[in-house]
Amino acid sequence: MIEFIQAAQAAATAGEVASATAEVTRMGLWELFLKGGWLMWPLLALGGVTVFIFVERYMAIRKASNLDMNFMNRIRDYISDGKIRSAVDLCRKTNTPIARMIEKGIERIGRPMSDIQTAIENVANLEVSKLENGLPFLATIAGGAPMIGFLGTVLGMVQTFMDMAAAGGTVDMSLLSGGMYVAMVTTVAGLVVGIPAYFGYNYLVARIEKLVFQMEANSIAFMDILNQPVK
């Protein structure tokens, strides 16, 4: 009789596990999101901000990197022919960070070379600062989102142990599932937000560094144009 009761209990437990497994299989993303608790909402907001910052900065950096390969050659020709106004108009028409640097240098023609170089560097610093707008927040999300997920893990485990203590000696998997869902789902969500933010931040930084190199190269080329001997 005792063996029959134990077998029935084992069968019931197996049935509960199978039922829980089937429930997880049927569970969609929205149900999983809700199982994660209130911390999922900040993570969702951070995920949206990550996408917005990355797309907006990517488009801005891509636009800033577009420069006609003959731009500096045309600037050289205009300056050599004394067409300063035409050179300024070309820079304003081009409307890129490099063009704005060169425009500031053209406007300083006639002053000492050190003044021209300083003016160009000041404009370059301002342009780089504009391009980096939003990147510190993206880096914060890359580090903060996994920490929020870890906080959810801790809170979920605390909830699980509290449920175990309240249940006494009887441990029911369905009773403990709430805390385990919070622990696991928030961890996954934190990583899902943090990892793309981390790679996105480093990708944008690399694009900006490449553009800074182009700005330095064009600055040197412009100074070489001004130092050319008069024919």
Q: Summarize the confidence of residues 124-150 as an average pLDDT.
A: 92
Cα–Cα distance for residue pair 91/113, rounded to 1 Å:
20
Secondary structure of residue 109 in the 3-state scheme:
strand
Tokens 């050659």, residue located: 73
pLDDT at 14: 43
165 — pLDDT class (breaks 50, 70, 90) = low
Q: Are 123 and 104 in contact (CB under 8 A)?
A: yes
Cα–Cα distance for residue pair 1/117, rounded to 1 Å:
96
pLDDT at 3: 42
198-207 pLDDT, tens digit each: 999 999 999 9
Q: Are 46 and 193 in contact (CB under 8 A)?
A: yes
pLDDT at 120: 92
H or E element in which residue 13 lies? helix 2-26
Measured CA to CA in angstroms, residue 158 lies from 78, 152, 161 at distances of 72, 10, 5
Query: For the whole model, what pTM was predicted?
Result: 0.77
Q: Are 109 and 84 in contact (CB under 8 A)?
A: yes
pLDDT at 225: 86
Q: Which residues pair with 111 in a beta bridge?
A: 109
68-101 pLDDT, tens digit each: 788 898 999 898 888 889 999 999 998 899 999 9
Cα–Cα distance for residue pair 58/49, rounded to 1 Å:
14
Q: Summarize the confidence of residues 104-120 as an average pLDDT.
A: 90
